[in-house]
Amino acid sequence: MVKSRLPQLTICEFEAYGKALPKLKFDGCSQGSNADDAKHLCHEAFDSSLAQCAITNSDNTWWKAQTSQPVWFMFVKIFSRAKQRDSLTNFEVLIDENVCNRYKDSTEFDTKILPCGGYGHEIMVRSHLPKLAICEFEAYGKVLQKLKLHGCRQGSSLPGGKNMCYKAYDGKTNEDGSLLNCARTGDRKTWWMAKTQQPVRFNYVKIYNQLKQREGLTDFEVIIDDKTVCNRYKNSTGFASKILKCDAYGQKIMVRSNRPNLTICEFEAYGETVPSEKKLKLVSCEQNTDRDNSTTCDKAIDNRLEYGKELGDHCAITSRNHSNTYWWARTEHPVRFTYVKLYDRLDFKNKQTDFDVLIDGKKVCTRYKPTDRFASKILRCDGYGQELKISTAAGQLTVCEFEAYGLTVPTDEKLKFVNCSQGSNWDGTNHLCNKAYDDKLDTSEPGSVINCAHTGKENTWWKAKTERPVRFKYVVIYNRATLRYRLTNFDVIIDEKNVCNRYQSIFFFAYKTMRCDGYGQEIMVKSRLPKLTICEFEAFGETVPTEDKIQLIGCRQGSNLNSTENLCDKAYDDKLDDPDNPIQNCAITNIDNTWWKAKTEYPVRFVYVKIYNRLTHRDTLTDFEVVIDERNVCNRYKNSTQFASKTLRCDGYGHEIMVRSHMPQLTICEFEAYGQKSIRHEKLKLVNCSQGSSLDGIKHSCDKAYDDKLDDPDNPIQNCAITNNDNTWWKAKTEHPVRFMYIKIYNRLTHRDTLTDFEVVIDETNVCNRYKDSTQFASKTLRCDASGQEIMVRSHLPKQLAICEIEAFGETLPMETEKLKLTNCSQGSDKFSSTSLCDRAYDNKLGDTLDHCALTNADNSWWRAQTEKPVRFIYVKIYNRLTKERQSRRTNLEVIIDEKKVCNRYTDSEYFLSKTLRCDGYGQEIMVKSNIPYLTLCEFEAYGESLPAEDKLPLTRCKQSSSYYTHTCEKAIDDRLEDPSTHLQTCAFVDSARAGWWRAATDYQVQFMMVKIYNRLNRRSGLTNFAIYIDEKSECSRYSNGEEFSSKALPCEGVGQEIMVKSSLGYLTICELEAFGKFLPQRQ
């Protein structure tokens, strides 16, 4: 909302930018009561279908659902339906029993979006009316990872040493009440702390209390890096567990109690790790003075910390008693800084207690002014630029190491200018517009502007064009050496209209990096001061390839200026307005029906359009809209400023693009559309259809919807699939599993209101799109991104469903060549000990009986099988028993790769004969785990990419950071796995005080694709936090889950000769390591 405090509000254009939030997944639910024992149960509120609702009776009118782990809820969306809307007029939404929003309004709604911010595990809707009905409930927010803690300490300990600090993160929450699994301090020094492996952004923590005597956790603080108090808790009410927000950057987290005795039975921290590969390279530096020749500025970026007696030898140190002491360093190219890390010296850690960090000499991104001394400090520093500066008013500055982290911008994204202009010239021909991009900066001589573009006192603007449309991202402006105040009040504008950034400040700058995000071909700097000087101007962004120009094949316009000339096709004949024959090559309407439209051969994703105006009378293109498929207005232009050409953002899927003018005439001399083209063979073949009912037997059967015949004016609805008023759905299958991308639906010529409220569903459960609009359409292109084999259109209207043609586009997933061979199966239990064996799930036999199905009993209802070697799984297909009344057992299951990665979940009560599920991941074992008693698999097929045996790469020369007895590096590549009887004799083992590493090399350069690591059979904790590198520098994979495994296949893509495993722990065990990839051609 924009809310004005003035008597009038005018908005000519309002644009909002942001980021789509992920939809959160629920894995359990309950409600206070049931209106019906067999239906309207709690899970029907998140089954992706509006057909069924969760409904309570008049008692206990509440509904709740749980996520698999604590999340940050941000907002919720609640769907109602006509008969039940009155039950949603007085309710509240709660997170873990804390109210995040209330709704009390007699106005009924179909859908309602409510902000609901908070951390928690459970979300509830509690009604104050005698009934509650929720037809669909969606929650959006962020799922954060659980951070691994280590290196703990506590202020004091109880006698006996049983309740040490590590007990607070051993995964045990004191369920038996014995306190043996809790960390406990004595009466004094009641604090506890732990560290993460690397700098992180903490988001929230969860603290578990003891079962009895909970008063020890009633007054405490949570502190990051000894300094930032991220939360305080002071309440006499004891708790079993508590989730607290704790938003800060750092590496150390502490709980400090203000009461005697501190007991923490489990402590969990959640947040976001900061990847190490985002460390930025600093290439040059400066400081105002040097203490001596050995403490120059480059000592702070030499990757060496001080040790032992060498105090200060590797630190940048300024001399004493200087005001405005500073140190700065630059990156090679403009970047977005995120945070910095400063290391102080080991002695006298009081040199850095009052300082600022600035970006590009002006923007203070962080300040530090406590008197607390530190060995190292991580500080948030967010902003675009190229230079970081530490400035202090103290007499001396010491920086032993300085690290900057952020996002780099590729150098090849610097955009090339081809022509320019400026509003006026200062002195005729010397300081013209091209001086601003000649790669020459102003000299240091006073008053010199020889290499600068310089305007006079009037029309103080400068602009330049790129060769073709681009997406601008940011710009860098270089100022002159003197009189820099002339660049203190200006706008940066794209295509004369889009103001992408403003600078208005009393501070001068030498150069400035500014965010400037937008599509166009021209960029302008417009000053509000007399005179404008630009010594160098650089723009960075993304060029749009010419091959993305979309071909237009058919057109129409609302009216014609004359019957033979200036027709619609003139707008895409690649000819512009000719000065000798004005408007000869333009499409022109008369004063009625001022619109123009053209079609593409296939549905496409439009990204932007470029419109060329006529040479004279350009006022006909000052108020118009660009529309996709008659409905989606992708852009509006309303500006009295006339243009020669205009590039406009136009993002959307469709088959037709239109320009609709609000002026008495429309002239388009050339129209170009750019985007992502579809390919002819991506139209998917539909077979084997059905529909819920038929209007009149076989005349309007389901196959009429894909017979390539549209509704005929002479015989309406002859070629359409039409249901009656009951069971208004239609569906069809593809021959093989596919990835659907979008669909196009053609409506009938008359009575088009039957397609105004419907959803498109993949494999009966995945709603890929919804359409609800009273606007009727002739054809509609809808995004539908999901993998499966069946597509359905399900109407929500109590009238016929008519589909005259439906086309589906996507990617066919190869079947037979990529069907993976399964072996070595097992299952948790057997229903019938001799007849329901696990291998019946892949014997290629289906039937009416259970003779060829794998069945478990009510306990341990899981099944799994292995491939012969590591593969990339892509999707699986599960066949149910043929008897429909017995299919209800498989309604809540998970598909899991290598015992850990849940690649898909199916939690729908709908029956199915077969189901295709997306399951993308590397591994060697696939599991189906049922979350309800019993599991029946009549056939299970897995598809993916197998890695041929010859792609296993021979590893020869190896090293490791240290050796433990006979467990040398060669043990990891001897093709022998650990034998329980010999215990670890065939494993490489590193025992080191620091991070351990192991490496091996191939004889030649190869393309690595994947590695598989085998762990030891017992005590596997040495492989819980490690990274894999190619040639020591390129990290190709990271495992930091903390969970143990017997074997793990990890993607590792890159070219090199050496593979390295580096553990974040002090020890490392590898019983076998296999690398897969391809040999590269060798030079002769």
* CATH number, residue 193: 2.60.120.260
3-state DSSP assignment of residue 765: coil
Per-residue pLDDT reduced to its tens digit, 946-982: 765 547 888 888 998 887 777 889 988 887 775 544 5
Co-location of 570 and 662 in the same domain: yes
Rounded alpha-carbon distances, angstroms, from residue 673 to 369, 428, 571, 651, 681 = 55, 40, 11, 11, 22
The mean pLDDT value for 698-726 works out to 81
Which of 543, 570, 603 is where one domain is finished? 543
The mean pLDDT value for 1028-1053 works out to 80
Spatial separation of the C-alpha atoms in residues 334 and 511, rounded to whole Å: 11
Spatial separation of the C-alpha atoms in residues 779 and 782, rounded to whole Å: 10
Under a CB-based contact definition with an 8 Å cutoff, are residues 1009 and 1077 in contact?
A: yes
CB neighbour class for 216 (10 Å; exposed up to 12, middle 13-18, buried from 19): buried
Residue 257, beta-bridge partner list: 220
Co-location of 856 and 934 in the same domain: yes
The mean pLDDT value for 615-644 works out to 84
Whether the per-residue pLDDT at 374 is higher than 80: the answer is: no
Under a CB-based contact definition with an 8 Å cutoff, are residues 1018 and 990 in contact?
A: no
Co-location of 103 and 54 in the same domain: yes
Q: Give the pairing of strands 355-359 and 417-422.
A: unpaired
Rounded alpha-carbon distances, angstroms, from residue 510 to 227, 357, 442, 483 = 35, 18, 10, 11
Please give the single-letter amino acid code of residue 727. N
Under a CB-based contact definition with an 8 Å cutoff, are residues 478 and 441 in contact?
A: yes
CB neighbour class for 289 (10 Å; exposed up to 12, middle 13-18, buried from 19): middle
Confidence of residue 1042 (pLDDT cuts 50, 70, 90): low
* Nearest residue to 302 via CA among 317, 319, 318, 282: 282
Spatial separation of the C-alpha atoms in residues 143 and 139, rounded to whole Å: 12
Per-residue pLDDT reduced to its tens digit, 841-896: 898 887 667 778 888 888 888 999 998 877 888 888 888 776 544 444 446 889 99
The segment with the largest mean pLDDT, out of 632-636, 878-882, 885-889, 920-924, is 632-636
Whether the per-residue pLDDT at 816 is higher than 50: the answer is: no
Please provide residue 949's backbone torsions phi and psi, each rounded to the nearest 5 degrees.
-60, -35
Co-location of 218 and 267 in the same domain: yes
Under a CB-based contact definition with an 8 Å cutoff, are residues 202 and 248 in contact?
A: yes
Which of 491, 508, 543 is where one domain is finished? 543
Whether 846 is in a domain gets the answer: yes
What does the pLDDT read at residue 507? 73
Per-residue pLDDT reduced to its tens digit, 413-447: 788 999 999 999 888 777 889 999 988 765 545 55
Q: 């072996």: which residue's tokens? A: 823
What does the pLDDT read at residue 90? 92
Co-location of 169 and 227 in the same domain: yes
- What one-character DSSP code corresponds to residue 176? T
What does the pLDDT read at residue 931? 83
Please give the single-letter amino acid code of residue 724. N
CA 765 to chain centre: 24
Q: Give the pairing of strands 191-208 and 149-154.
A: antiparallel
Per-residue pLDDT reduced to its tens digit, 480-510: 877 777 888 999 998 877 788 888 887 777 7
Spatial separation of the C-alpha atoms in residues 911 and 887, rounded to whole Å: 6
What does the pLDDT read at residue 223? 92
What does the pLDDT read at residue 909? 61
261-279: b (≥16 Cβ within 10 Å) or e = bbbbbbbbbbbebbeeeee
Co-location of 802 and 820 in the same domain: no
> Tokens in use for 900?
């850990």
Residue 569 lies in domain: 548-678
Whether the per-residue pLDDT at 558 is higher than 50: the answer is: yes
- C-alpha torsion sign, points 880, 883, 886, 887: positive
Whether 18 is in a domain gets the answer: no
What does the pLDDT read at residue 377? 80
| pLDDT, the chain, mean | 82
Whether 657 is in a domain gets the answer: yes
The mean pLDDT value for 730-753 works out to 84
Whether 1 is in a domain gets the answer: no
Please provide residue 205's backbone torsions phi and psi, each rounded to the nearest 5 degrees.
-130, 155
Under a CB-based contact definition with an 8 Å cutoff, are residues 274 and 200 in contact?
A: yes
Residues in the chain: 1084
Spatial separation of the C-alpha atoms in residues 93 and 87, rounded to whole Å: 14
Whether 562 is in a domain gets the answer: yes
Co-location of 510 and 562 in the same domain: no
769 or 759, greater pLDDT? 759
Under a CB-based contact definition with an 8 Å cutoff, are residues 1080 and 1035 in contact?
A: no
Whether 17 is in a domain gets the answer: no
Residues 6+ apart with CB under 8 A from 992: 961, 962, 1066, 1067, 1068
CA 94 to chain centre: 27
Per-residue pLDDT reduced to its tens digit, 216-256: 788 999 998 877 788 899 888 888 888 888 877 788 999 99
Confidence of residue 42 (pLDDT cuts 50, 70, 90): very high
> Tokens in use for 519?
């599509």
Does the predicted TM-score (pTM) go above 0.75? no
769-774 long-range contacts (CB < 8 A, ≥24 apart) are 772/796, 773/631
Report, in angstroms and rounded to the nearest whole number, the Rg of the chain calculated over CA atoms.
34
Whether the per-residue pLDDT at 284 is higher than 60: the answer is: yes
Rounded alpha-carbon distances, angstroms, from residue 92 to 37, 124, 471, 876, 955 = 25, 8, 44, 41, 62
Whether the per-residue pLDDT at 10 is higher than 90: the answer is: yes
Whether the per-residue pLDDT at 91 is higher than 60: the answer is: yes
Whether 468 is in a domain gets the answer: yes
The mean pLDDT value for 593-619 works out to 85
Residues 6+ apart with CB under 8 A from 115: 74, 75, 100, 101
Which of 361, 394, 409 is where one domain is finished? 409
* Nearest residue to 904 via CA among 1011, 762, 808: 762
- C-alpha torsion sign, points 576, 580, 582, 583: negative
What does the pLDDT read at residue 390? 92
Confidence of residue 464 (pLDDT cuts 50, 70, 90): very high
> Tokens in use for 159?
């006698």
What does the pLDDT read at residue 589? 93
Poorest-pLDDT segment among 294-303, 735-744, 907-916: 907-916
Co-location of 483 and 583 in the same domain: no
The mean pLDDT value for 930-943 works out to 87
Helices and strands (H, E) in the chain, number of each type? 0, 68
* Nearest residue to 257 via CA among 214, 304, 200: 214
What does the pLDDT read at residue 760? 92
Under a CB-based contact definition with an 8 Å cutoff, are residues 1066 and 1042 in contact?
A: no
3-state DSSP assignment of residue 1019: coil
Rounded alpha-carbon distances, angstroms, from residue 104 to 83, 90, 334 = 19, 4, 51
Whether 1084 is in a domain gets the answer: no
Whether the per-residue pLDDT at 544 is higher than 70: the answer is: no
Co-location of 828 and 942 in the same domain: yes
Co-location of 584 and 669 in the same domain: yes
Co-location of 134 and 151 in the same domain: no
Count CB neighbours of 573 within 10 A. 12
CA 677 to chain centre: 24
What is the percent of the chain where pLDDT is above 90?
22
Confidence of residue 716 (pLDDT cuts 50, 70, 90): low
Confidence of residue 1084 (pLDDT cuts 50, 70, 90): very low
What does the pLDDT read at residue 735? 82
Q: Give the pairing of strands 779-795 and 757-762.
A: antiparallel
Co-location of 74 and 169 in the same domain: no
Spatial separation of the C-alpha atoms in residues 276 and 113, rounded to whole Å: 38
Please provide residue 678's backbone torsions phi and psi, each rounded to the nearest 5 degrees.
-85, 160
What does the pLDDT read at residue 843? 87
Spatial separation of the C-alpha atoms in residues 894 and 874, rounded to whole Å: 15
- What one-character DSSP code corresponds to residue 711? P
Domain count, the chain: 8
Count CB neighbours of 425 within 10 A. 16
Spatial separation of the C-alpha atoms in residues 907 and 890, rounded to whole Å: 9
What is the percent of the chain where pLDDT is above 70?
87
What does the pLDDT read at residue 491? 93
Residues 6+ apart with CB under 8 A from 1031: 1056, 1057, 1058
